[in-house]
Chains A and B, each alone.
Chain A
Amino acid sequence: MKRLALALMCLPGLAFADGVSVENPIIPLAPPGVAAHAAFMSITNTGDTPRQLIGVSAPAYAMAHIHESTEKDGVAMMSAVDLVEIGPGTTVTFEHGGLHFMLMKPKAPVSEGDMIELSLEFANGEVEQVTAMVMKRHKAHDHSGHGHDKHHDHKHGS
């Protein structure tokens, strides 16, 4: 088990803070000239106490926010989210059609394969560093419907 844990820690894109683990952090490659990108990932609270995700920062972008896409009566809309509650032992998945980290105005062009640093801010003052890989959307999308773990069921915390 210890060896597995060590191996996991060496994988890029995985980050562990006290009681929080992040899996599959990705940023789908956006069309050229588009200033709004999204980061998706799964965040699991592996600890015993509820955690509250309250913000995100991304040095490579002018702005970063927690956002949620919703659809009501056939209209797609987005709204900022102030707090995402993650209960002990639960996973909140940031994925298409729900929560995402909205990244605005990249300071330099973002290309496929780039690694983007994100800091997830929690209410207890802890910051989780996450490295998200920029990848073509169809590659990320190809996983859907094939039991890939970033698409498992979850409850949105907002």
Chain B
Amino acid sequence: MRHLLAALIVAFAVPATAQVQGVMLDEPVEMPAFVYTNDLGETFTERDLTDAWTIVMFGFLSCPDVCPFTLGNLEAAVSETSLRVRPDNVPKVVFISVDPDRDAETVSEYAKFFHPDFRSFTGARDQIDALVEATDSFYRIMTPDSSGYYEVQHSSSVSVIAPDGTLRAKLQPPFDPGQTAEFLARMQISYRKELSQ
């Protein structure tokens, strides 16, 4: 027993010293029904969450620093993940703009810029709020300045949704590609173990 305990301590001590790239949820969280659209007429609904791993990120297009950096790193992380998991387990990346007033006309171009398979959408306020709330995310549209320009605050973490359509984990900055890929690969192993039980 003591040996087992020692082994456990070692096992937990190692990840603790590495940078935290993600947090697995204790219990999977069901996602609500939602529908998002983009300027190409594509839609993204809760039915698109099933049969694949999905990473959902909330942001806005007038975000010069954090959003492009996050998507750039997610591109690298997903590319790393593709070296570790089966092709059909490589996560899809979906960007949801919480700023439809400014972004609706061009939103489809945004995520694609970072990877041709990344997709981006926006939607009605209640649709945005439904998924923001269900994923324990956050955003706030700030008061416009005299020129009408406004800032948007938003969660820096992104949500990982399993092929059963439930939220399983949150990924956090700095989204180190190798460590994020390792986290995602390990999470998929524990997901499959859980399914086979």
Q: Roughly how many angstroms separate A104 CA and B149 CA in the complex, as a whole number?
A: 10
* B residues less than 8 Å from A38 (CB atoms): 64-65
Q: Roughly how many angstroms separate A87 CA and B87 CA in the complex, as a whole number?
A: 52
Q: Which residue of B lies closest to A27 (CB)?
A: B64
B57-112 with Cβ < 8 A to chain A: 61-66, 68-69, 72-73, 75-76, 105-106, 109-110, 112
Q: B116: shortest Cβ distance to chain A, in Å?
A: 12
Which of A14-22, A73-81, A119-127 makes up part of the contact surface? Answer: A73-81
Q: A134: shortest Cβ distance to chain B, in Å?
A: 13
**Residue contact A71 to B156, C-beta cutoff 8 Å:** yes
**Residue contact B68 to A28, C-beta cutoff 8 Å:** yes
Q: Roughly how many angstroms separate A37 CA and B61 CA in the complex, as a whole number?
A: 10
**Residue contact A97 to B110, C-beta cutoff 8 Å:** no
**Residue contact B155 to A32, C-beta cutoff 8 Å:** no
- Tell me which of A30, A33, A74, A96 contacts B155 (CB under 8 A): A74
A115 CB–B CB distance under 8 Å: no
B34 CB–A CB distance under 8 Å: no
**Residue contact A97 to B106, C-beta cutoff 8 Å:** no
In this complex, the interface size class of chain A, counting residues with CB under 8 Å from chain B, is 20 to 34
Q: Roughly how many angstroms separate A74 CA and B171 CA in the complex, as a whole number?
A: 11
Q: A132: shortest Cβ distance to chain B, in Å?
A: 13
**Residue contact B157 to A69, C-beta cutoff 8 Å:** no
**Residue contact B65 to A78, C-beta cutoff 8 Å:** yes
Q: B38: shortest Cβ distance to chain A, in Å?
A: 12
Q: B25: shortest Cβ distance to chain A, in Å?
A: 15
The interface bits of chain A over 1-44 (1 if a CB of B lies within 8 angstroms of the residue's CB, else 0) are 00000000000000000000000000010111111111000000
**Residue contact A75 to B68, C-beta cutoff 8 Å:** no
Q: Roughly how many angstroms separate A96 CA and B69 CA in the complex, as a whole number?
A: 7
**Residue contact A103 to B64, C-beta cutoff 8 Å:** yes
**Residue contact B64 to A67, C-beta cutoff 8 Å:** yes
Q: B80: shortest Cβ distance to chain A, in Å?
A: 14
**Residue contact A32 to B153, C-beta cutoff 8 Å:** no
**Residue contact A74 to B110, C-beta cutoff 8 Å:** no
A51 CB–B CB distance under 8 Å: no
Q: Roughly how many angstroms separate A71 CA and B157 CA in the complex, as a whole number?
A: 11
A102 CB–B CB distance under 8 Å: yes
Top-10 shortest CB links A-B: A31-B113, A33-B106, A38-B64, A36-B62, A77-B153, A76-B156, A76-B66, A36-B64, A69-B65, A32-B109
22 contacts between A and B (CB under 8 A): A31-B61, A33-B61, A33-B106, A33-B109, A34-B61, A36-B62, A36-B63, A37-B64, A38-B64, A71-B156, A74-B157, A75-B155, A76-B66, A76-B153, A78-B65, A96-B65, A97-B66, A100-B64, A102-B64, A138-B75, A141-B69, A141-B73
15 extra A-B contacts, CB within 8 A, seeds A33-B61, A33-B110:
A30-B64, A31-B61, A31-B68, A31-B109, A34-B110, A74-B156, A75-B138, A75-B153, A75-B155, A97-B66, A97-B69, A100-B64, A104-B62, A104-B149, A138-B76
